[in-house]
């Protein structure tokens, strides 16, 4: 137990700063700046509430990112279960003391901000499972007794979030957990079986869905079904993106957005707005930035020596990719509208906090890549 | 607790790496899919989505153009536009509709029914579409609304223009305008582009005939609107184009005068320039108030029009069909002369009636006219003389002449209400009635009864073409340029008495079409008409003018509604003592001045009795009025106008 500490102490502040992955930091910063412009456009070209608070949040959580980065990966490993339990308690708190908005109870009022614990759970679950599978030997992974806990810690928050109701976030939380299990080596057969089980349970699950959720799924299958109702968002989003063309309509000139045809333009549809104003090349630029961020995270996963670090980085990279892909597929009309923010770009403090925190741990893996964890 | 050995850790690490590789491959596939989707939306389908985005973004509001004016010959506007003060309401801008209506009711005193009607309309349309709260406010109400405007959110005071007519004297010939109906949209092609809600279009008369040109070009305001339909900013405004104005050949002064004369009667008057066919006056009575139609007709007023047995909505001069009665005798005589059936001095003896084919044919003069030649036949309007002439002439030759002079077909073009009437002949009867012609019917036709049907306008044209020496003219009501071929021809003839050119060549040089074989025959008819109006014994002798400036030559007529029974004939029942509906229609046609004809006139008085008593006095007054204005007419509005 002493040896690692000596390695840790041997890292001077200068070494730590030097071992930061600057490409990753730079990409995050560029994405953050791009998101500020996008937010400025959603406010109609003025520094209004959304822009100001988005900038503030980005700055605060970018700071958080560095703080988390400079804390040893060992600390994060040791507190993984605690973090999960803490977030889980917050989720339970939402159930009883949560704020209700547009029919869904997702937020905790913390006076200075409204916290959405389900967003934090995305990271919490990955942390928990990364630690859990770090400890289990490769032989034991597929034994039934080591499946019970992972399934429990995965299902419990998913059910809590799904009943808020927030189908989109619950699916994304589940996806993160499944990814960790997959990477840890749980047998493919198991995923196939649970996949079929999910499909078999789908009719029952659908009967639990709220009418608006059912209608969203039906609408996805045929957006023209109800063009002024549930299909409206998909249609308007496609119009906005398509009308952007190759070069876009220009900054602040996205008519679909400033004329309010675009729903939820600050949050889920921020990519649509950007794509309308900056066209195909603008969209490619965003995709490129995300690709860099994800590939850097994977690279850090390759470098880090501990399996906890690897599991976490790979899982986080994949989850990050899924958040991006699901959001884009959604606004491009390839998936039903399930309500999932685009990392860093979308307005929303909890999402920003979770992503920055997650990235911070990644960076901590980089800085402390040679620190062994138990 | 399991404590993984270092070898285990390496194996595990390799497993994680392998699995991550699979995931990375999957990510690449998804990434390619995303880029593909972007290409499809932003490159392949960009045009489609751009147009959809513009469709979202822009909304156009059409602006009704100003209708062109209609002027009389002296450039007085007889159909013009006036500012119209309206109050519109845009529901989406109103915070509390119920409250607003309470306020509006207090300010404008609109009825409870109107409010509930408006609420129904608002429910049906989009929240940004305005409803018209008050269509036509007077200035004081309108300024009151403007005063309270700050507390009436959603209310928009609108100043627009609407059709207005100075009076009702020309209501029939001008027609009226009113809101576009569904049927109009289906049947009138030109309305497709111009239909603006609340716009009035021509429904009858000139307003309808000229509608397509007089409506003008619709303007539009293009606004950028947001998703809730709220106007964000104006992108483009096109005021449209006011409709074309038209100058007519009508004389507004004569219209007013004639309209006044006909008050209370069911009657029609038509006055025409005999040389160029300019219609100077065309009045039908009783008239209606065309201004009432502009802003949604009052139901009570509409019912009063519909129920009136004198049919105020019908333009009797164009669409009223009446047997021409004795006015046709001019053409019967002309036809007989031209076909060499009779000579002017051939005589018949009138004993008050003749019996032919087992039927009695009466002359209106019970005691008979004695020995009658052509001149006296027309002067006294002797029926027996024309029975004889018609019998010899035959109906087919008569119909040929009548048609040549413009009976049996429409005189003007594009007046939906105009009717063509009937000039009967043997073929016509076979075709439309399916029976053979009876000889007795020829006799009835000879005095303008039986199947004969004509409009006052046709009779006026007939008279004009006799008056001008027998040349065809084309009546017109829209002034375009001076058509003075016939006047120029006559002037040329006066100035060159020894013209060497043969007359038919000369006539065709002036682009004229003669309706006669021998012009002497026309002069004989004109002379006979003169005697009818100006010599003792003539049927309109009592209403003559001594002053040669106004002297007219005319022909009376009365068209029978109901055949007289023998008993009535014996009792010498007077027309005046018959029930109104059974009385004859009184007709009178004339041209004036006799020496130098300028105008032809036809007068019809429904159920007026005899033409001499009911129609001729009206004609006399109108002729005087028209001739008094003749110099003015020749001087104004024409550069080369000169009296012949």
Contacts of B49 in chain A (CB under 8 A): 238-243
Which chain B positions have a beta carbon within 8 Å of A258's beta carbon?
A: 226
Residue B94 has pLDDT above 90, yes or no: no
- Cβ atoms of A324 and A297 closer than 8 Å: no
pLDDT at res. B4: 46
User: According to the model, what pLDDT value does residue A223 have?
Assistant: 60
The answer to whether A165 touches A210, Cβ cutoff 8 Å, is yes
| Residue B195 predicted with pLDDT over 90 | no
CA B123 to chain centre: 39
Closest-CA distance of chain B to residue A182, Å:
7
Q: How confident is the model at residue B6 (pLDDT cuts 50, 70, 90)?
A: low
Give the A:B interface size as CB pairs under 8 Å.
Answer: 135
Tell which of B15, B53, B127, B224 to mutate to test the A interface (max A CBs under 10 Å). Answer: B53
Tell me how far CA of residue A320 lies from CA of A37, A325, B34, in angstroms: 22, 9, 15
Structure tokens at A69: 């980065």
Query: What does the pLDDT average to over B119-145?
Result: 83
Where are chain B's structural domains? 60-247, 252-296+308-635
pLDDT score of A227: 60
Q: Tell me, what's the ipTM?
A: 0.91
Contact B225, A255 (CB under 8 A): no
Question: CB count, 10 Å around CB of A22?
Answer: 12
Helices (H), B280-324: 291-294, 299-307, 316-319
**Chain B: residue whose CA lies nearest to A285:** B35
- Residue of A133, A142, A242 to mutate, interface with B, max B Cβ within 10 Å: A242
Query: Residues of A with CB below 8 A from B226's CB?
Result: 258-261
Of residues B589 and B6, the one with the higher pLDDT is B589
Residues of chain A short of pLDDT 70, as ranges, are: 1-10, 216-217, 219-230
What torsion, rounded to 10 degrees, do the Cα atoms A175, A178, A182, A187 define?
-130
Are the C-beta atoms of residues B207 and B291 closer than 8 Å to each other?
A: no
State the pLDDT at residue A221.
Answer: 62
- Supply the DSSP symbol for B125: S
Per residue in B564-575, pLDDT (tens digit) is 777 777 777 787
Q: Is B107 buried (19+), middle (13-18) or exposed (0-12) by CB count in 10 A?
A: middle
Contacts of A238 in chain B (CB under 8 A): 41, 49
pLDDT of B326 above 90: yes
Q: Could you tell me if A272 and A248 are in contact, meaning their C-beta atoms sit under 8 angstroms apart?
A: no
Q: CB B23 to CB A310 under 8 A? A: no
How far is B564 from B575, CA to CA, in rounded Å? 10
Q: What is the mean pLDDT of residues B5-15?
A: 75
Assigned token pair, B226: 């947001």
- Look at residue A36 in the predicted model and tell me its pLDDT: 94
Q: Report the gap between the CA of B124 and the closest CA in chain A (Å).
A: 17
What tokens were used for B635?
């001087």
Distance CA B105, CA B431 (A): 63
> CATH homologous superfamily for B252-296+308-635?
DD-peptidase/beta-lactamase superfamily (3.40.710.10)
The β-bridge relationship of strands B370-372 and B155-164 is unpaired
Inspect the interface and report whether the beta carbons of B53 and A243 lie closer than 8 Å.
yes
Nearest by CB: B232 against A182, A239, A259:
A259
List all residues of chain B from 55 to 114 with a beta carbon under 8 Å from chain A.
Answer: 56-57
What are the pLDDT digits (tens) for B493-519? 888 877 777 777 778 778 888 898 898
Does the beta carbon of B131 lie under 8 angstroms from any beta carbon of chain A? no
Q: What are phi and psi of B237, to 5 degrees?
A: -135, 130
Give the Cα-Cα-Cα angle B394, B397, B401 (nearest 5 degrees).
135
Residues of B in contact with A279 (CB under 8 A): 42
Tokens of B593: 């001045």
What does the block give as tokens for A264? 């939820």
Whole-number Å distance between alpha carbons of A308 and A304: 9
Rounded CA separation A356/B615 (Å): 103
Encoded tokens for B503? 């007359």
CA distance linking residue A23 with residue A29, whole number of Å: 10
pLDDT value at residue A203: 77
B213: contact with A, CB 8 A cutoff: no
Q: Which residues of B touch A283 (CB under 8 A)?
A: 38, 42
What are the tokens at B283?
Answer: 């009045």
Q: How far apart are CA B323 and CA A334, in angstroms?
A: 80
Task: Among A53-62, B53-62, B434-443, B582-591, name the one with the lowest average pLDDT.
Answer: B53-62
Q: How many whole angstroms separate alpha carbon B549 and alpha carbon B508?
A: 31
Mean pLDDT of B253-277: 94
Listed by start position, the domains of chain A span 2-367
Count CB neighbours of B96 within 10 A. 11
CA torsion sign for A94, A98, A99, A102 is positive
CB–CB of A284/B38 below 8 Å? Answer: yes
For residues B424 and A234, what is the distance between their CA atoms, to the nearest angstrom?
A: 73
Task: Decide if A155 contacts A197 (C-beta within 8 A).
Answer: no
pLDDT of B243 over the 80 cut: yes
Give contacts of B23 with chain A, Cβ < 8 Å.
179, 182-183, 314, 318
The reported pLDDT for the residue numbered B126 is: 77
Residue B434 region, left (φ>0) first, then alpha (ψ -120 to 50), else beta? Answer: left
C-alpha B338/C-alpha A72 separation (Å) is 128
Query: Mind telling me how many Å the CA of A113 is from chain B's nearest CA?
Result: 30
Superfamily of domain B60-247: Penicillin-binding protein 2a (Domain 2) (3.90.1310.10)
Question: Which residues of chain A have a CB within 8 Å of the CB of B24?
Answer: 298
- Provide the shortest C-alpha distance from residue A195 to chain B (in Å): 17
């Amino acid at each position: 137990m002493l040896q690692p500490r000596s390695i840790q102490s041997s890292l001077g502040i200068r070494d730590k700063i030097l071992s930061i992955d600057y490409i990753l930091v730079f990409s995050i910063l560029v994405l953050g700046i791009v998101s500020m412009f996008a937010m400025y456009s959603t406010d109609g070209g003025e520094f209004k509430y959304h822009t100001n608070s988005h900038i503030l949040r980005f700055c605060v959580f970018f700071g958080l990112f560095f703080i988390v980065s400079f804390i040893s990966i060992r600390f994060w490993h040791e507190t993984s279960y605690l973090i999960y339990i803490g977030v889980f308690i917050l989720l339970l708190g939402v159930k009883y003391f949560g704020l209700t908005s547009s029919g869904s109870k997702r937020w905790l009022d913390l006076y200075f901000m409204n916290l959405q614990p389900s967003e934090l759970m995305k990271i919490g679950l990955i942390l928990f499972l990364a630690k859990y599978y770090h400890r289990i030997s490769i032989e034991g992974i597929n034994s039934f007794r080591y499946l019970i806990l992972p399934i429990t810690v995965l299902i419990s928050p998913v059910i809590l979030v799904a009943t808020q109701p927030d189908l989109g976030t619950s699916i994304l939380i589940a996806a993160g957990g499944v990814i960790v299990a997959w990477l840890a080596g749980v047998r493919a057969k198991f995923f196939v079986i649970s996949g079929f089980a999910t499909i078999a349970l789908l009719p029952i699950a659908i009967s639990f869905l709220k009418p608006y959720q059912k209608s969203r799924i039906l609408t996805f299958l045929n957006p023209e079904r109800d063009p002024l109702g549930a299909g409206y968002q998909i249609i308007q989003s496609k119009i906005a993106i398509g009308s952007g063309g190759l070069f876009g309509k220009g900054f602040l000139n996205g008519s679909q957005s400033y004329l309010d045809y675009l729903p939820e333009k600050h949050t889920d549809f921020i990519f649509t707005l950007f794509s309308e104003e900056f066209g195909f090349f603008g969209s490619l630029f965003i995709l490129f930035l995300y690709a860099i961020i994800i590939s850097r995270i994977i690279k850090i996963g390759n470098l880090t020596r501990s399996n906890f670090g690897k599991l976490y980085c790979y899982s986080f990279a994949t989850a990050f990719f899924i958040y991006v892909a699901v959001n884009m597929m959604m606004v491009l009309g390839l998936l039903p509208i399930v309500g999932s923010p685009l990392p860093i770009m979308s307005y929303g403090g909890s999402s920003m906090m979770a992503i920055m925190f997650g990235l911070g741990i990644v960076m901590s893996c980089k800085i402390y890549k040679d620190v062994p964890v138990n | 607790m399991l404590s993984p050995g270092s070898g285990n850790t390496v194996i595990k690490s390799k497993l994680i790496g392998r699995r991550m590789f699979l995931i990375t491959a999957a990510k690449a596939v998804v990434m390619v899919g995303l880029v593909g989707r972007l290409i499809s939306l932003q490159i392949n389908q960009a045009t489609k989505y751009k147009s959809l985005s513009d469709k979202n973004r822009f909304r156009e509001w059409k602006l009704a153009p100003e209708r062109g004016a209609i002027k009389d010959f002296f450039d007085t506007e007889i159909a013009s536009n006036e500012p119209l003060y309206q109050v519109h309401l845009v529901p989406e801008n109103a915070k509390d509709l119920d409250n607003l209506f309470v306020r509006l009711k207090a300010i404008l005193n609109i009825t409870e029914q109107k409010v509930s009607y408006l609420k129904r309309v608002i429910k049906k349309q989009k929240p940004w579409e305005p409803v018209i709260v008050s269509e036509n406010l007077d200035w004081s109400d309108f300024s009151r609304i403007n005063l309270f405007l700050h507390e009436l959110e959603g209310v928009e005071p609108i100043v627009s223009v609407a059709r207005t007519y100075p009076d009702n004297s020309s209501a029939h010939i001008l027609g009226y305008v009113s809101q576009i109906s569904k049927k109009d949209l289906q049947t009138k092609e030109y309305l497709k582009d111009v239909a603006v809600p609340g716009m009035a279009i021509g429904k009858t008369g000139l307003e309808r005939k000229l509608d397509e040109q007089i409506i003008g070009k619709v303007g539009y305001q293009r606004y950028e609107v947001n998703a809730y339909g709220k106007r964000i900013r104006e992108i483009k405004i096109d005021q449209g184009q006011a409709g074309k104005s038209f100058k007519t050949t009508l004389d507004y002064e004569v219209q007013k005068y004639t309209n006044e004369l006909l008050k209370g009667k069911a009657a029609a008057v038509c006055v025409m320039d005999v040389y160029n066919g300019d219609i100077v006056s065309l009045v039908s009575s009783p008239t209606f108030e065309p201004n009432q139609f502009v802003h949604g007709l009052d139901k009570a007023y509409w019912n009063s029009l519909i129920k009136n047995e004198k049919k105020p909505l019908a333009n009797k001069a164009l669409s009223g069909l009446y047997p021409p009665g004795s006015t046709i005798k001019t053409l019967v005589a002309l036809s007989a002369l031209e076909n060499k059936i009779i000579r002017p001095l051939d005589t018949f003896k009138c004993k008050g009636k003749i019996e032919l084919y087992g039927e009695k044919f009466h002359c209106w003069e019970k005691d008979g006219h004695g020995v009658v030649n052509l001149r006296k036949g027309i002067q006294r309007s002797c029926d027996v003389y024309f029975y004889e002439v018609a019998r010899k002439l035959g109906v087919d030759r008569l119909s040929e002449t009548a048609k040549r002079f413009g009976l049996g077909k429409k005189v003007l073009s594009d007046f939906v209400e105009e009717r063509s009437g009937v000039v009967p002949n043997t073929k016509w009867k076979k075709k439309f009635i399916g029976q053979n012609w009876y000889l007795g019917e020829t006799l009835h036709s000879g005095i303008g009864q039986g199947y004969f049907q004509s409009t006052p306008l046709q009779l006026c044209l007939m008279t004009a073409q006799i008056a001008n020496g027998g040349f065809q003219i084309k009546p017109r009501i829209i002034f375009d340029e001076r058509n003075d071929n016939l006047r120029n021809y006559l002037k040329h003839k006066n100035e060159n008495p020894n013209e060497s050119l043969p007359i038919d060549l000369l006539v065709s040089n002036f682009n004229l079409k003669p309706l006669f074989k021998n012009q002497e025959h026309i002069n004989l008819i004109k002379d006979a008409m003169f005697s009818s109006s100006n010599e003792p014994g003539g049927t309109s002798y009592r209403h003559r003018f001594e002053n040669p400036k106004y002297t007219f030559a005319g022909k009376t007529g009365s068209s029978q509604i109901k055949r007289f029974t023998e008993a009535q004939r014996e009792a010498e029942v007077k027309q005046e003592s018959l029930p109104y509906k059974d009385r004859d229609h009184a007709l009178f046609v004339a041209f004036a001045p006799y020496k130098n004809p300028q105008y032809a006139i036809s007068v019809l008085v429904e159920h007026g009795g005899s033409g001499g008593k009911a129609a001729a006095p009206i004609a006399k007054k109108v002729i005087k009025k028209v001739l008094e204005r003749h110099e003015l007419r020749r001087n104004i509005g024409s550069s080369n106008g000169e009296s012949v």
